[in-house]
Amino acid sequence: MPKVAYGLFEYFSTVGLPTVLIFVAGLLLSLWILSSRNPRVKWPPGPLCFPVVGCLPQLIISGRRRQPTDLLPWYDTYGDIMHVKFGEQHVIMLGTYELIQEAFVKNAATVSARPTWIYFLRQTVGKGGAGVIFKSGHEWKELRRFTLSSLRDLGLGRKSLQERIQDEARYLVQNIEDENGKAFSPSDRIGKAASNIISLIVFGARHDFNDTPELLPVLEEALKSGEGIQFFTNLARFLMPMEKIMSLVDRLYSLIRQEVDRHRQSFDPTDIRDFIDLFIKVTQEEQDPEIYTEWNVFRIIVDLYLAGTDTTATTLRWSLVHMVNHPDVQKRVQQEIDQVIGQGRVAKMEDKARMPFTEATILEVFRLSTVVPMGAPHATSETTNLAGYTIPKGTIIMGDLYPVLHDKNNFEDPYKLKPERWLDDDGKVIKSDKMIPFSMGPRICLGKGHAEMESFIFFTTLLQNFTFKVPEGEKPPDGVEGLNTISFTPYPYDVCAVRR
């Protein structure tokens, strides 16, 4: 092989540039033809896809930052079900509630796999997948059942999850008080508060706000590496900083392994302290040893952090953006807090039913600032019919949540914060099937209930204690555009928290 490579190098060094370009073009065309399997497949309409790179040039070769709105013109041109190629990968994009429901609910049996064959996932979770987010089939169902059951059981005989969130909300308030109304960035504090809840559930311990748990910055840096679109193609090895990402992943697993080893040394089957203890108990009882492996528990812990830290913290960051941009909404929420809760205690979930405007405001933040615009990728485990098209096995299916939540037919003035859209004439909260920020079907976000509880208690407690304002002389933070990688986060911003 080295001789062949050397011979080609010698040959190209003697021929002209046109010959080299023709050769490269021919090679790319050949690779494209070889990668275009199932030529008889009648794909849904979609944009022009180039050999090898697919539609990546239109999506990532640009001078501006990528936004969740980037695909909206394509839906207008090609329709609500669209065929796109990310590099060599065939991807079906679904842009309406009805199509996502057809795929993820009605066809859940064949559209609930994960595309663990793509390069990035092969490198991070293995070809067979692991954990609850990136596992498929029977093992995924069993691990999801175990995880949800564990989360429900934890806290029996101790503080409930709600009490833990209330305590953490108090700590967050105390920490913000130290700023004395001066401008500060709330991002790290909110991230630590959300991380502490998951740390209590998984590891049985929280961290002081002056300390940064090693796991949190490693996870956040891994999440922000590269752009979401690059994630789906095998070209990720060239487009993303894979060496850096894999170093972060290895560090993440090393930290988790240390925690598991510490728990094993002090494990007492009669005193289950947290999720790791539950896992150790199950493995000692030898329940399905092929499913309850150390590799799967590592991935479940990462999944819990993804589902319970990043999404919740990002939602709270967006909520403060919208409050400083809409002081009238902030004032109405505070009036409701004063009427229902007062200043003598922390909010609890039972208060939510008597606080319709606060609930409506949180719903509007979930809708307007879709934290995971495309959700997690699904894949067909066998040939499937969607909207009249026959979709082959091994095709990635993406339910694009952003156009659903920003469709003017579903929500009037979709890019404006309007909590009143969620209230009827009697001031009661209206529910909508189109409200799917956590996706839908069997693969609905694992942390949905957790995120809703945290968002309500944290948001209410913050506005109970502070009025948030834009620092004098600074521009208000952007309420529509943000940093769009795996999740959609606000651009960095500062606020002033004035004690009420």
pLDDT tens column, 429-464: 999 999 999 999 999 988 888 889 999 999 999 999
Q: Give the rounded percent of residues in the chain with a pLDDT score beyond 70.
A: 85
Read off the amino acid at residue 304: L
Task: Give pLDDT tens digits for 37-77.
Answer: 445 788 999 998 888 888 887 776 554 567 888 889 999 99
Residue 309 pLDDT > 70: yes
Q: Sketch the domain layout of the chain as residue ranges.
A: 1-35, 36-499
Alpha-carbon distance of 260 to 292, in angstroms, equals 14
CA distances from 495 to 175, 323, 476, 492 (A): 14, 10, 9, 10
The answer to whether 127 and 467 are in contact (CB under 8 A) is no
- Return the pLDDT at 348: 94
Q: Is 389 helix (H, G, I), strand (E, B) or coil?
A: strand
Residue 262 pLDDT > 50: yes
Tokens for 387? 């909207």
36-499 — its CATH code? 1.10.630.10
User: What average pLDDT does the segment 398-411 reach?
Assistant: 96
For 55-64, 168-177, 272-281, which range has the lowest pLDDT when averaged over its residues?
55-64
- Return the pLDDT at 2: 46
445 annotated ligand-binding residue: yes
Q: Give the rounded percent of residues in the chain with a pLDDT score beyond 90.
A: 51
Question: What long-range pairs does 221-228 form, CB within 8 A, spacing at least 24?
Answer: 221/248, 222/248, 222/249, 222/252, 223/306, 223/310, 223/485, 223/486, 223/487, 224/483, 224/485, 224/486, 225/485, 226/485, 227/60, 227/66, 227/484, 227/485, 228/66, 228/374, 228/484, 228/485, 228/486
User: What average pLDDT does the segment 151-174 reach?
Assistant: 80
Partners of 85 in beta bridges: 90
- Return the pLDDT at 215: 63
- Place 213 in a pLDDT band, splitting at 50, 70 and 90: low
- Place 3 in a pLDDT band, splitting at 50, 70 and 90: very low
CA distances from 406 to 69, 106, 298, 306, 436 (A): 9, 23, 36, 24, 11
Residue 123 pLDDT > 90: no
Of 82-86, 196-200, 276-280, give the range with the top mean pLDDT. 82-86
- Place 159 in a pLDDT band, splitting at 50, 70 and 90: low
Mean of pLDDT over the chain: 85
Torsion of CA 245, 251, 256, 261, to 10 degrees: 150
Alpha-carbon distance of 330 to 335, in angstroms, equals 9
Alpha-carbon distance of 429 to 431, in angstroms, equals 7
**In degrees rounded to 5, what are phi and psi of residue 469?**
-135, 160
As a residue count, the chain comes to 500
Q: Which residue has the higher pLDDT, 224 or 241?
A: 241
- Return the pLDDT at 293: 84
The residue written with tokens 């190629």 in the block is 85
Is residue 233 classed exposed, middle or buried when 0-12, 13-18 and 19+ CB atoms within 10 A define those classes? buried
